[in-house]
Structure 1
Amino acid sequence: MNKFLIIPLLFGLLMLSCSEDKKKINESAADENQVIGEQGAALPSVSFYQYEDSSNYPDAILELYTPLGNQVFKPGKVPFEFNVKNFDLQNTGGGNARLFMILNGGDPVGYLSPIFQRELTVGTYRTVAYLVDDDGFALKSFGNYIDRDFLVGDSRPFPYSAEPYLALHQPKNAQIVSLGEELVIDFLVLGGDMKLDGLKVKIFVNEFSCEVNRMSPVRVSNLPKGDYQLKIQLLRSDNKELEGPFSTVSKTVFVR
C-alpha cells in the first residue's frame, strides 16, 4: 500500500476508536420531546443524554484550611485557604481556573490561586469548592470537592441537616447558549452517594424533563431558540423531596 495512504487511514482509525470510547447513556425517548416550529413543521426532538462515567484525576485532593466549620468572621474581606494535592492548578495552557467555589448556591467563581479573599456581608454561608478537569467539568471522585459552613457578623448557623444537597457548576445564571449547541448541566451531589443512598436528579428545562441517577454531566440537544427556566432537583428514588435550602437549584438560560 502507498505509504501516503497509510497515514490518513491510521488517523481515521484512531479518531473512530476515540469516538467509541464515549458512549451515550440515559438518552431520553425522542418522541416525548417533539417540538413544532412556527411554520408547523416538526423540529428535531429535544433530547437529554449523558456519557459513561470517566474518573479523571481520582487521586486529586482538595482540602480547606480556612474557614473552619461555623467560624465567625467580621463583615468585609473573608480569607479562604485551600490545599491541593496530586493536581496542578496551573496546568491549563490558557490560564483558565481549575479551582471553583460556590457560595449559598450561587454561580461558581474560578480562582487561579488556592489562597484568596472574598468581600462578604453579614450572613450565614455554605461554601462548596471543587476542582475541574481539562474540559472544564467538575471532578466527581471522593476528595475532589469539599463543603463548609461559616458565619459573617451576627448570624446563626444553618439548622443541622444530614440530607444530601446539590451544587451546580454549569450553566451559570443568564448563560447564553448558541442555537444548535448543546446545553450542558454539570452538577455535584454532596453529603450522599446517588447509588448507595437511593438518590436521583430530576431536570426540567421549561416543559422538557429527564431523570438521572449518576453525576455525569447531562447534555440537552436541539433546544429551539427561546428563554428557558432550568430547575435541577435532588430526590429520593421514591420521589420523596429532600429537606434543606440547597436540594433544588434554578437558573435562567437563553438560546440565541
Structure 2
Amino acid sequence: MKAPKSILVLLILALVAVGCKQTKENTEEQEVEVEQEVVEETQPELTLVKLEGSPAYEDAALMLNNPSGEAIVAAGAIDFEFQVENYELGAQTSGPNAERLANSGKGQHIHFILNNQPYSAHYEPAFSKEVPDGVHHLVAFLSRSYHESVKNENSVVVRKLEVGDNPQDANGLDMEAPTLIYSRPKGEYAGKDVENVLLDFFVLNTTLSEDGNKVKATINGTEFIISEWAPHVMSGLPLGEVTISLELIDADGNMIPGPFNSVTRTVMLKE
C-alpha cells in the first residue's frame, strides 16, 4: 500500500532538516578548530635571550658600614648604612635597556635581600629594616634603574647576621658554599613592560660554565639551561600568572645542596 503524499513530504522534510543540522554542526566544529589553530599560531614563542648593551659600572662599589659586625644584640628595626662609590643612587641608567625593560622612575638603587626572600629596593644608602631573631644571610648589591644587578667583585655585600641573645641558625648557613640568589622578575607588569621581562640573579662562591655549574630556569614549565652569569630577557610570555623556578645545578644536572639553591616565584602580567 502506498503511503499518502503528505506523509512522504513530511519524511523528506525531516531528512532535509537532519541533514541541515549535521551540516551546521560540522561547520561549527570546523570553525572551532580554525579558531583554535589561529590562537595557537598567534601565541608567540617563549624565548630567553642574554641581555646586552648595559653600562658596565666596573668600578662601582658597595660597602656596609653599619652594622659593622655579625652580632646584633636585639631584634627589630636595625639601622643599615651603606657606602657607595663610583655609582649614583637615584640616577637613571643610560642606554636602550631603560626603554626596553620595566624601569624605576626613582632611578638606580640597592637590592637588599635577606635569606633569599624578595628584595626591597633602596634609593638612599642609609635605611632601617625589621630583622627578627635568628641567623640570617644578607645579600645587598647595586642595581641599575631597570633592576639589572651590577656584577663585579665590589658591587655586592654578603654578610651573616646573628640577631638576638641566642640566635638559631635555621638554614644551616655555609657562607663559603656555592649559592644562588634570586632577584628579578618581581611583582606585576603591565602595558609594554610585559613584552620583555628581565630574569636576573646573583651567584656566590662559584662560576657558571658549559662544563661546570649552571642555573636551570623553568619558566611556565619550559626549561632553559644558563651557563653564563648574565642577565637575560624573557619574551613571548602569556598574560596572567607566570611561574619562574631557578636551580643551581652541577655539571651532571644535579642540584647543588644549599638552602637557597632552589627557588620558585610567581609574577603577574597584565594588559
**What is the TM-score of this pair, normalised by structure 2?**
0.72
2:254 is aligned, of 240, 245, 248, to 240
* Aligned twin of 1:205: 219
Residues 203 and 232 in structure 1, CA contact (< 8 A), matched pair in contact too: yes
Q: CA deviation at 1:38?
A: 7.0
Residues 240 and 268 in structure 2, CA contact (< 8 A), matched pair in contact too: yes
Q: CA deviation at 1:135?
A: 3.7
- The within-5 A match list for 1:61-72 is 61-72=61-72
Residues 210 and 227 in structure 2, CA contact (< 8 A), matched pair in contact too: no
- The within-5 A match list for 1:181-220 is 181-195=195-209, 198-220=212-234
The number of residues matched between the two structures is: 220
Query: Is 1:130 aligned with 2:141?
Result: yes
2:58 and 2:262 mapped to 1: Cα distance? 27
Mean Cα displacement is larger for which, 185-194 or 157-166?
Answer: 157-166
Please list the CA deviations of residues 105-137 of structure 1 after superposition, one character each: whole Å capped at 9, or x if unmatched. Answer: 111111122122112222322111011225431
* Aligned twin of 1:156: 168
**What is the TM-score of this pair, normalised by structure 1?**
0.75
2:148 and 2:34 mapped to 1: Cα distance? 33
Matched letter for residue 265 of structure 2 = K
Please list the CA deviations of residues 175-225 of structure 1 after superposition, one character each: whole Å capped at 9, or x if unmatched. Answer: 345585122211111122224992211111122121111122221211223
Residues 88 and 108 in structure 2, CA contact (< 8 A), matched pair in contact too: no
Query: Is 1:227 aligned with 2:228?
Result: no
1:160 and 1:203 mapped to 2: Cα distance? 24
Query: Over aligned residues, Cα RMSD in angstroms?
Result: 2.7
Q: Percent identity?
A: 28
- The within-5 A match list for 1:52-67 is 52=52, 56-67=56-67
Query: Is 1:106 aligned with 2:103?
Result: no
Residues 53 and 216 in structure 1, CA contact (< 8 A), matched pair in contact too: no
Q: Closer, same or farther in 2 for the Cα pair 1:129/1:117, shift >3 Å? A: same
2:269 and 2:145 mapped to 1: Cα distance? 25
* Aligned twin of 1:40: 37
2:258 and 2:34 mapped to 1: Cα distance? 40
2:216 and 2:58 mapped to 1: Cα distance? 26
Structure 2 portions without partners, runs of 5+: 1-32, 94-104
Residues 138 and 159 in structure 2, CA contact (< 8 A), matched pair in contact too: yes
2:75 and 2:201 mapped to 1: Cα distance? 30
Q: Closer, same or farther in 2 for the Cα pair 1:227/1:134, shift >3 Å? A: closer
Larger fraction in strand: 1
2:62 and 2:210 mapped to 1: Cα distance? 23
- The within-5 A match list for 1:169-184 is 169-172=183-186, 174-178=187-191, 181-184=195-198
Residues 55 and 140 in structure 1, CA contact (< 8 A), matched pair in contact too: no
Runs of 4+ in 1 over 4 A off after TM superposition: 52-55, 177-180
Larger fraction in helix: 2
2:61 and 2:210 mapped to 1: Cα distance? 22
Matched letter for residue 157 of structure 2 = I
Please list the CA deviations of residues 48-92 of structure 1 after superposition, one character each: whole Å capped at 9, or x if unmatched. Answer: 111358661111111122334531331211121211122222433
Q: CA deviation at 1:163?
A: 2.0
1:221 and 1:195 mapped to 2: Cα distance? 24
